[in-house]
């Protein structure tokens, strides 16, 4: 199990690292690379959500808020103080981690539908505040003029440089997550998912671990938010709405919650799909809703579950 996870990890790193190379010379290459950047950016968030949902068994319908907090903290620090984006990023991540910790303590006492609604409520509250605090952001539409990351004199504004920067952070996040899953913590999280009480009886500090998983997933989301803010140069509150929270959860569930690879698969498919369905924009919501229902009805373990089951069936036959 352990070696297989690291093998998949290396294969994914190689794949995502090499994929832009053949695209670069293409005329539409920049577009594809930007789509790939968004996929990696969301993958950072959904990796965390997968740990929270698939391993710790807790749902969150408010992660757009942590993405938004990361983006706004980082953007505001870099615009108003101003400090370098390289300092704004860790500051934003730390700030969001504190907020998520304060939220996690009361929220994670709830379960199931109640937890879903409480996290959703938190997301809505943050959304309203991001919208109303325009005296802070200076513009009702959002925060403008956020500086890009730079190395010496070189500003990272080309789509390739943004891609590889996201890739580097994505690699770190994935490595950390894979090691976590294959450690004592990962086994404890799975035990919580299986049965709270039994895990507690076996000496797992259930509430502490749940909170840690929640904060870690918020940290990942804030990291992605900070990257997003400095890539785009502009952020508006409308990005961080309920629909984004729902989409992130959907990516994890559609891909499959049984392991983090499912989350990556779901993120890639659900991010890429709308980009190539723009001709059918009116149908986007119908298709999206239908996919959610159909996958839950016919593949409740997600797309990765379908793949794994087939493999298991073949092994059983052989």
Partner 1 sequence: MKLSYFLQYLASGITVGSVYALVALGFNMIYNATGIINFAQGEFVMLGGMTMVFLTGALKLPMWISFIVSVMSVTAVGALLERGAIYPLKGAPPITLIIITIGASILIRGASILIWGEDAYRLPGITGDRPIRVLGASILPQSFWVIGVGAILMGALQLFQRYTLFGKAMRASAADSEAATLVGISPRRMTLWSFAISAAIGSVAGIIITPIVFTHYNVGVMLGLKGFCAAVLGGLGSFMGAVVGGFLLGVLEKLAVGFAPIGYSGYENAIAFIVMLLILFLRPSGILGRGEVEKA
Residues lying near partner 1 in the complex (CB under 8 A): 53, 59, 61, 106-107, 109-114, 116-118, 120-122, 124-125, 128-129, 131-132, 242, 246, 249-250, 253, 257, 282-293, 296-297, 300
The minimum distance between CB 214 and partner 1, in angstroms, equals 15
Residues contacting 283, CB < 8 A, separation 6+ = 277
Nearest distance, CB of residue 136 and partner 1, angstroms: 13
Q: 22 vs 112, which CB is nearer to partner 1?
A: 112
**Closer CB to partner 1, residue 116 or residue 176?**
116
Smallest distance from partner 1 to CB 45, Å:
17
Dist CA 42 CA 225 (whole Å): 9
Query: Between 197 and 317, whose beta carbon lies closer to partner 1?
Result: 197
Minimum CB distance to partner 1 smaller for 16 or for 241: 241
Closer to partner 1 by Cβ: residue 40 or 52? 52
- Residue whose CB is less far from partner 1, 34 or 193: 193
**CB 12, min distance to partner 1, A:** 25
Both tokens of 229, joined, read 């803010």
Identify which of residues 141 and 285 has a Cβ nearer to partner 1 in the complex: 285
Min dist. Cβ of residue 169 to partner 1 (A): 28
What is the smallest separation between the CB atom of 269 and partner 1, expressed in angstroms? Answer: 15
- Closer CB to partner 1, residue 156 or residue 291? 291
Distance CA 203, CA 209 (A): 12
Please report how close the Cβ of residue 196 comes to partner 1 at its closest, in angstroms: 10
CB of 273 to partner 1, least distance (A): 14
Give CA 317 to chain center in angstroms.
Answer: 37
Cβ-based nearer residue to partner 1, 63 or 230: 63
How far are the Cα atoms of 179, 194, 241 from residue 96, in angstroms, in the given order?
23, 29, 17
Report the nearest approach of partner 1 to the CB of residue 139 (Å): 15
Task: Print the SS3 string covering the chain.
Answer: CHHHHHHHHHHHHHHHHHCHHHHCCCCCHHHHHHHHHHHHHHHHHHHHHHHHHHHCCCCCCCHHHHHHHHHHHHHHHHHHCCCCHHHHHHHHHHHHHHHHHHHHHHHCCCCHHHHHHHHHHHHHHHHHHHHHCHHHHCCCCCEECCCCCEECCEECCCHHHHHHHHHHHHHHHHHHHHHHHCCHHHHHHHHHHHCHHHHHHCCCCHHHHHHHHHHHHHHHHHHHHHHHHHHHCEECHHHHCHHHHHHHHHHHHHHCCCCHHHHHHHHHHHHHHHHHCHHHHHHHHHHHHHHHHHHHHHCCCHHHHHHHHHHHHHHHHC
């Amino acid at each position: 199990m352990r070696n297989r996870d690291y093998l998949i990890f290396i294969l994914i790193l190689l794949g995502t690292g090499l994929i832009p190379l053949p695209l670069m010379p293409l005329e539409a290459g920049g577009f594809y690379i930007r789509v790939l950047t968004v996929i990696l950016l969301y993958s950072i968030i959904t990796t965390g959500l997968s740990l929270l949902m698939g391993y710790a068994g807790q749902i969150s319908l408010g992660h757009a808020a942590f993405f938004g907090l990361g983006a706004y903290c980082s953007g505001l620090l870099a615009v108003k103080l101003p400090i370098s984006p390289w300092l704004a990023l860790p500051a934003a991540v730390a700030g969001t981690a504190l907020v998520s910790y304060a939220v996690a303590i009361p929220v994670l006492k709830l379960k199931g539908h109640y937890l879903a609604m409480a996290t959703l409520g938190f997301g809505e509250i943050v959304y309203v505040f991001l919208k109303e605090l325009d005296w802070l952001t200076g513009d009702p539409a959002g925060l403008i003029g956020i500086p890009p990351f730079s190395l010496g004199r070189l500003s990272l504004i080309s789509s390739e440089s943004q891609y590889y920067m996201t890739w580097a952070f994505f690699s770190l996040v994935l490595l950390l997550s894979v090691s976590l899953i294959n450690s004592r913590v990962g086994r404890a999280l799975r035990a919580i998912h299986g049965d709270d009480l039994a895990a507690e009886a076996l000496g797992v500090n259930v509430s502490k671990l749940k909170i840690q998983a929640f904060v870690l997933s918020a940290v990942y989301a804030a990291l992605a938010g900070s990257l997003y803010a400095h890539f785009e140069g502009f952020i508006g509150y409308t990005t961080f709405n309920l629909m984004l929270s729902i989409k992130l959860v959907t990516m994890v569930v559609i891909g499959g919650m049984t392991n983090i690879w499912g989350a990556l698969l779901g993120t890639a498919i659900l991010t890429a799909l709308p980009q190539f369905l723009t001709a059918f924009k009116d149908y986007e919501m119908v298709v999206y809703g239908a996919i959610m229902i159909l996958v839950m009805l016919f593949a409740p373990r997600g797309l990765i579950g379908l793949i794994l089951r087939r493999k298991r069936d073949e092994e059983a036959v052989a």
